[in-house]
Amino acid sequence: MTSTALRSRAWKLLEMVTTPLLPSDYLDLVSPLRAGADLRGRIEAVHPETGDAATIVIRPGRGWRGHTAGQYVRIGVDVDGVRLWRAYSLTSPAKRRDGRVTITVKAIPDGKVSNHLVRSAKPGTLIQLDQATGDFVLPQAKPAKVLFLTAGSGITPVMGMLRDTEFDDVVMVHCAPQPQDVIFRDELHALVADKKLQLTEVHTDTDGMLDIARLDELVPDWAERETWACGPAGLLDAAEEHWSEHGVQERLHTERFRPTIVVAGDGGEVTFSATGKSVDADGATPLLDVGEEAGVLMPSGCRMGICFGCITPLKAGAVRDLRTGEITEAEPGVLIQTCVSAAAGPCDIER
């Protein structure tokens, strides 16, 4: 018998020992970061960067496959007991010797996860991880001339690149409201002092928003540079337009942090994505009724919110709990009780 076959037999036997649970349920008690476990990480330190940003040092589990500078990672953090998933750029160099990775998080107003991470995350806490992903990365061959165009927390993926690679000729234009809001400011200035970086800070509180046309003056050879841009949608839209106008769009690489703008309204178009049906719903009719009305086969139970027999994934949009008025927004893994939820704007129900 091959060793794989033997191992799978041994595993089957172990499953018999632990049924109805799985061997991993017990192994997780002692070794949540072991190879073969669901990918997790442990927060080992939280270093403040600015008044509202902090770097989180994470020791990933053994299953971590590493990352390339510029990529991001989705993490699942329990905030007030509720697991919430967000994506953050990795700011550590890809080959950090101690195997730790870092993300740098800026607290955004009303951001549940970002505020939690910046202000109350505790070393020792376990978090859930996905593998690193994203194609906002450098090419195999190091480009001769580079421009980084960033604003706010858009600097984070770029910092991962700067820490990972030594560039021959690199210019950075970074926008932040005030000098003290510039994340990694000391490190950037150290690079400038070492002549490893040319940096222009745009302080938007005093200078106003960056007018993309000013690039000609700030970085006269911008069009010759391979450019990576990350920041708010307005900046990226302007950049894409500007690069296209000059016919050099292939030199511009952008990264958009996924906008999570859900406007909770009263009713909206409900899509049943598995069935491919769409119907308009008001803000008072339970989605279970909406679905049945539209001829979608909906799981159902008590029809009053107590049996949890109707729970269904919410793929997109937002719904309102008809009992409490509470809004639930779509996130991976979010399930809703269709018998007591109504559309709060357009939404997508996986049925």
Partner 1 sequence: MTAIDPTAHLTAEQIEELGRELDAIRDEVIASRGEKDAAYIRKVISAQRKLELVSRGVLLFSFFPPAWIIGTAGLSVAKIMDNMEIGHNILHGQWDWMRDPKIHSTTWEWDHVSPADQWKHSHNELHHTYTNVIGKDNDLGYGIMRVDEDQKWQPFHLGQPLWNFINACFFEYGIAAYDLELGKNLDKRRRKNPEFRARAKAVGRKIRKQVLKDYVVHPLLSGPSFLPTLAATFTANLVRNLWSHSVIMCGHFPEGVQVFERRSINGETRGQWYLRQMMGSANISGSKAMHFMTGNLSHQIEHHLFPDLPSNRYAEVAVKVRALFEKYELEYVTGPLPKQVYSAWRKVVRLSLPNKKPKVKTPDRERELLAA
Which residues in this chain contact partner 1 in the complex, by CB under 8 A? 13, 16-17, 19-21, 25-26, 29, 78, 80-84, 301-302, 304-309, 311, 323-324, 326, 333-335
Q: For partner 1, give the closer residue by CB, 238 or 316.
A: 316
Smallest separation (angstroms) from partner 1 to the CB of 266 = 20
Name the helix (H) or strand (E) containing 9: helix 3-18
Q: How many CB atoms lie within 10 A of CB 227?
A: 24
For partner 1, which is the closer residue by CB, 84 or 87?
A: 84
Cβ proximity to partner 1, 77 vs 146, nearer residue: 77
Q: Token pair for residue 10?
A: 């041994």
CB of 96: closest distance to partner 1 in angstroms?
29
CB of 57 to partner 1, least distance (A): 22
User: Looking at beta carbons only, is 134 or 305 nearer to partner 1?
Assistant: 305
- Asked if the bond preceding 157 is cis, omega within 30° of 0, the reply is no
Closest approach of partner 1 to the CB of residue 121, in Å: 13
- State which residue, 6 or 304, has the beta carbon closest to partner 1: 304
User: Which structure tokens are listed for 81?
Assistant: 């007991």
- Asked if residue 227 lies in contact with residue 144, where contact means CB atoms within 8 angstroms, the answer is no
CB atoms < 10 A from the CB of 123, how many? 11
- Maximum Cα–Cα distance across the chain: 73
User: What's the closest the beta carbon of residue 312 comes to partner 1, in angstroms?
Assistant: 10
Cβ atoms of 202 and 173 closer than 8 Å: yes
Q: Minimum distance from CB of 80 to partner 1 (Å)? A: 4
Q: In angstroms, rounded to a whole number, what is the distance separating the alpha carbons of residues 176 and 199?
A: 13
At its nearest, how many Å lie between partner 1 and the CB of residue 13?
8
Residues 6+ apart with CB under 8 A from 86: 74, 75, 77, 113, 114
Q: How much of the chain is in helix, strand and coil states, percent to nearest 5?
A: 30, 30, 40
**Nearer to partner 1 by C-beta: 11 or 308?**
308
Two tokens at 257? Answer: 């942090």
CB nearer to partner 1: pick between 28 and 269:
28
